[in-house]
Amino acid sequence: MKGYERLEAWKKAHEFALLVYKNTGGFPSHEQFGLTSQLRRAALSVPTNIVEGQASSSKREFLNFLNISNRSLVEAEYLLEVCRNLKYLSEDRYSELDKLRAHAGGLLNGLIGSIRRKL
């Protein structure tokens, strides 16, 4: 098992990214290079920065990557709202995605707090 795979924050962030990809496949084709792409990039940035940070040589550098991950998660939160408002996502799909996003965010914030206490 890779080091990052043991992190609960990574597991939920990975699950969130996969669910975003699955739920954006049916977005309008004119959004392929706009909202679809931006939401996917934000969602994928969350677990990617956890992975990259976990491989860091210092806790401070790891914390920096976790903060980037958190900012990407907040970006995804807003983009999901836009998708819901434009009716690209049903209320049920939005709710499922937002619930998973919030869970991933809670775990990520817990990890950030844990690393900060060790500095």
Confidence band for 2, pLDDT divided at 50, 70 and 90? confident
- Read off the pLDDT of residues 51-94 as tens digits, 9 standing for 90 and up: 999 999 999 999 999 999 999 999 999 999 999 999 999 999 99
Measured distance CA(55)–CA(10) in Å, rounded = 13
Measured distance CA(118)–CA(51) in Å, rounded = 19
Longest dimension (CA), the chain: 47
Average pLDDT over every residue of 99-114 = 98
Tell me which residue of 50, 41, 38, 39 sits closest to 13, measured CA to CA. Answer: 50
Provide the percentage of residues in the chain whose pLDDT is more than 70: 99
**pLDDT score recorded for residue 1:** 67
The angle that helices 8-24 and 91-118 make with each other, rounded to 10 degrees, is 150
Domains with residue ranges and CATH for the chain: 3-21+39-118 (1.20.1440.60)
